[in-house]
Amino acid sequence: MQVRLVAYRSISWLSRLRQFFRRRRLRLLLWSAGLLLLLSVAGDMLFPVPARIPYSQIVTADDGQVLSAYLSTDDKWRMRTELDDISPLLREAVIFKEDKYFYYHPGVNPVAILRALFNNLVQGRKTSGASTITMQVARLLEPKERTYASKLIEVLRALQLEWHYSKDEILRMYLNLLPYGGNVEGVKAAALLYCGRMPDHLSLAQIVALSVIPNRPTSLRIGRNNEAILAARNKWLRRMGAEGLFDAGQIEDALAEPIDMKRRSLARRAPHLALRLHHRFPDRAVIPTRLNLRIQNKVRTLSYNYVKRLKSWGIHNAAALVIDNATRGVVAYLGSADFSDKRHAGEVDGVKAVRSPGSTLKPLVYALAIDEGLVTPKSVLNDVPINIGGYAPVNFNRKYNGTVTAEQALARSLNVPAVSLLQKVGLPSFLDRLSDAGFRQIAADRDKLGLSAILGGCGVRLEELAGLYVALANGGRHLPLKYRRDDTVASAQALMTASAAYMITEILCQLERPDLPATYQSSVHVPRVAWKTGTSYGRRDAWSIGFNKRYTIAVWLGNFSGEGTPELTGADIATPLLFKLFNSLDYNSPNDWFAPPPGLDFRIVCTASGQVPSDFCDDQALDYFIPGVSSNRSCDHRRRVMVAHDETHSYCTHCRPDVGYKQKLYDNVSPELAAFYDAERIAYSRVPSHNSSCTRVFDAGRPRITSPVAGNEYLIERGDSTRIMLSCLASQDVTNVYWFVDDMLVGSAAAGERIFIHPHPGDLKISCSDDRGRNADISVKVTYY
């Protein structure tokens, strides 16, 4: 009994001892696991994966084709391969050759390591490797001398990579880092440089050929050792066929395919846009644009050939943009006709260059005038010499028409009506709209600009003008142009109403206009286009910008040097190229045109004034107008005047006799128009001079002094015989005017006649009185030096 008790106690003690060690071993294992995890986390933090790979930047078209590429910061051709670039063929071939169990191991394949160790020990030299794709990525990220210590680091790095990245991401890194000799790395760079195509367009033979080179990039040098590459490729193709990776037909076709790989030059298409985006986004590996290569190539070819024919006239440069109106995407970008023409600064980007716009801004001021109710297309405007604060604009041909309709003035690009209209609209409003439309140089120079801005006295860029006309094609709503596929959508700016945009569009598509090129009739087919031309001062810039429902095309021609040439005009030089581009890009257009917006209506107007007809208006026409906005003023192009039966003089209600007079209709012309008619000897019904015995003094209709300009200072060199001209505009009923300087009579003249004086220095008061007793005064300063 006692022996049993001792035995039981011994067994119980041993059981407790075993449980103690079992619990301690578990605790030790847990502590060891925790310590290992802690060391792993600490090691990961202290030695992070060097996964930042400097890539070559590529700029692509809308279909993914490469436009241009640039070396990486470490001077490598290493182009980022995306997951979408990895075709199933490429994935299967690479994994089969390099790491069959890639998707099953944690970055390290223990079986492969043991097999390689055994083979190497038996053979006494290295006969096989055990590196997985993940381990190769670790080695490519941190190249080191091949030692057992380096291999251990690769193992640790492989585990670290698997911790941080998915299998597809690791495969992508591997394909991005594969060495192909020289400074070429990665399968995308190799595919483009050696095969001339993207990785997802490679054949099976090309994929396998590219997969064997990285193991021996020096001995399998493309272009030098193609026979060795062919042998290595076919060896692996047969292995893949034997393993059933690909069917027999695919293997047979791949084996029959010759090796035609050689080093190719990378494409350099749309170089100005590519450089622009490269400088703006230097850290992006891929910049996808909206360029359509078919359209880009047509624009480049047509422009290049067109400029070649102009070189004999001293015109060497051109720039063009084509915009898809629906998306605002730039589908063609031509900075110059020949980027390689260093003699004529072909590397200059004409799309971004600041140039004088000529008359291309005029449609905006007419649209603003329409929206303010100042004009409609049939409104009659004066086209006569004017002087606004010393600024006297003239038309391009230095001729005047007397009166024109607003649509004629815009279609014929007349300068004087545009300046007069801008004065009524207000320069600040005009500049505000241009700033809203993204005209950066105009916004910067705002305080320096005057009324001459409407005629080209400002700086603009081709892309800014293109954006303005895209807004016309989109009902007056402006959005920034989109160069990249991932450009975000901004909020639209309303530059004008849809009604105003439609009226301007209808005016700009008229064919009866002087800026229609002589070659137009020889064009086989030109889609319906609304367009506007512009020619800068000195004939340094020729512009033509047109649009239809589908595209807006903006064209500039000239010299980047700023040199002008007599032949350089928007109508004769730029518009033929514009029509060529439309004819090429939109030849089969269905001619779908813009529909009138809901807020637009028709009305009958008098053709002599463009106003609502009065009872004396015989000639009438239909005109667009905006209800509630356009003026409802009745026509006043004629007025009834009380005159003597012999029509020698007129009466007012103050001096009208009881009998012996009659009422007669006379042309109601402004003083400026009357002066023009008199100077040009154009007949019009002039109101007879007022009754000389009338004692009433009229305040309305007083003379308007046009020279000198009120408030100006005149500098005259001492001893110079320079004189100052005195001139005014007077009412029709005035025969003579009288001029005073500091209230001293200096001369009299017929209405509209000019006189000249030698002024004394200092502040002068200039006065003009007509024969009806009406008076006007201005002040000027004269300084002798």
Q: Phi first, then psi: what are they for 157, rounded to 5°?
A: -65, -35
Statement: residue 409 has pLDDT above 90: yes
Q: Annotated catalytic residue: which of 56, 211, 336, 359?
A: 359
pLDDT for residue 122 = 64
More confident residue, 719 or 435: 435
Closest alpha carbon to 443 in 326, 354, 518: 354
Q: Specify the 3-state DSSP secondary structure of 574.
A: helix
Statement: residue 275 has pLDDT above 50: yes
* Residue listed under structure tokens 């070189």: 311
What is the mean pLDDT of the segment spanning 491-496? 90
pLDDT for residue 20 = 59
pLDDT digits (tens, 9 = 90+) for 135-162: 888 888 888 787 778 788 888 888 888 8
Statement: residue 127 has pLDDT above 50: no
pLDDT band at 120 (very low <50, low <70, confident <90, very high): low
d(CA 74, CA 450): 51
Are residues 371 and 421 in contact, defined by beta-carbon separation less than 8 angstroms? Answer: no
The b-or-e profile of 356-381 (16+ CB within 10 A means b, else e) is bbbbbbbbbbbbbbbbbebbbbbbbb
The percentage of the chain sitting over the pLDDT mark of 70, rounded to a whole number, equals: 90
Beta strands in 645-729 (DSSP E): 650-651, 661-667, 704-707, 713-716, 724-729
HEC readout, 15-48? HHHHHHHHHHHHHHHHHHHHHHHHHHHHHHHHCC
* Residue listed under structure tokens 């021609």: 557
Q: Phi first, then psi: what are they for 508, rounded to 5°?
A: -75, -10
d(CA 223, CA 374): 73
Lowest mean pLDDT among 164-178, 224-238, 301-315, 722-736: 722-736
CB count within 10 Å of CB 481 equals 23
pLDDT band at 492 (very low <50, low <70, confident <90, very high): confident
Average pLDDT, the chain: 88
Statement: residue 84 has pLDDT above 70: yes
d(CA 435, CA 468): 11
pLDDT for residue 126 = 54
Closest alpha carbon to 678 in 596, 750, 759: 750
pLDDT for residue 21 = 60
Rg (CA), the chain: 42
- The 8 Å CB, 24+ separation contacts for 56-59 are 56/189, 56/285, 57/278, 57/282, 57/284, 57/285, 57/286, 57/287, 58/285, 58/286, 58/287, 59/270, 59/273, 59/274, 59/277, 59/278, 59/287, 59/289
Helix (H) or strand (E) holding 493: strand 493-494
Lowest mean pLDDT among 2-16, 236-250, 253-267, 616-630: 2-16
pLDDT band at 51 (very low <50, low <70, confident <90, very high): low
What is the mean pLDDT of the segment spanning 614-631? 93
Residue 263 token pair: 């080093």
What is the mean pLDDT of the segment spanning 589-614? 90
d(CA 556, CA 650): 57
pLDDT for residue 17 = 55
pLDDT digits (tens, 9 = 90+) for 632-668: 999 998 988 898 988 888 888 888 888 888 889 998 8
Q: Phi first, then psi: what are they for 357, rounded to 5°?
A: -85, -5
Is 522 catalytic? The answer is: no
pLDDT for residue 164 = 86
d(CA 183, CA 199): 18
Phi/psi region, residue 417 (left: phi>0; alpha: psi -120 to 50; beta: rest), is alpha
Are residues 544 and 516 in contact, defined by beta-carbon separation less than 8 angstroms? Answer: no
If you write DSSP's letter for every residue of 585-611 in order, what string do you get? Answer: HSTT-----PPPPTT-EEEEEETTTSS
Residue 58 token pair: 């590529």
pLDDT for residue 511 = 79
pLDDT for residue 3 = 46
pLDDT digits (tens, 9 = 90+) for 441-453: 999 999 999 999 9
Are residues 682 and 722 in contact, defined by beta-carbon separation less than 8 angstroms? Answer: no
pLDDT for residue 115 = 76
pLDDT for residue 329 = 96
CB count within 10 Å of CB 38 equals 10
Sign of CA dihedral 482, 484, 489, 490: negative
Lowest mean pLDDT among 11-15, 211-215, 639-643, 669-673: 11-15
What is the mean pLDDT of the segment spanning 616-629? 94
Q: Annotated catalytic residue: which of 56, 68, 98, 463?
A: 98
Residue 649 token pair: 């003089």
pLDDT for residue 528 = 84
pLDDT for residue 5 = 45
> Cis omega before residue 708 (within 30°)?
yes
d(CA 258, CA 114): 39
Are residues 313 and 565 in contact, defined by beta-carbon separation less than 8 angstroms? Answer: yes
Closest alpha carbon to 67 in 353, 272, 260, 212: 272
Statement: residue 6 has pLDDT above 50: no
Tell me the pTM: 0.84
Beta-bridge partners for 333:
321
CB count within 10 Å of CB 273 equals 26
- Considering 225-234, 349-358, 612-621, the range whose residues carry the highest mean pLDDT is 349-358
Is 98 catalytic? The answer is: yes
Q: Phi first, then psi: what are they for 124, rounded to 5°?
A: 80, 5
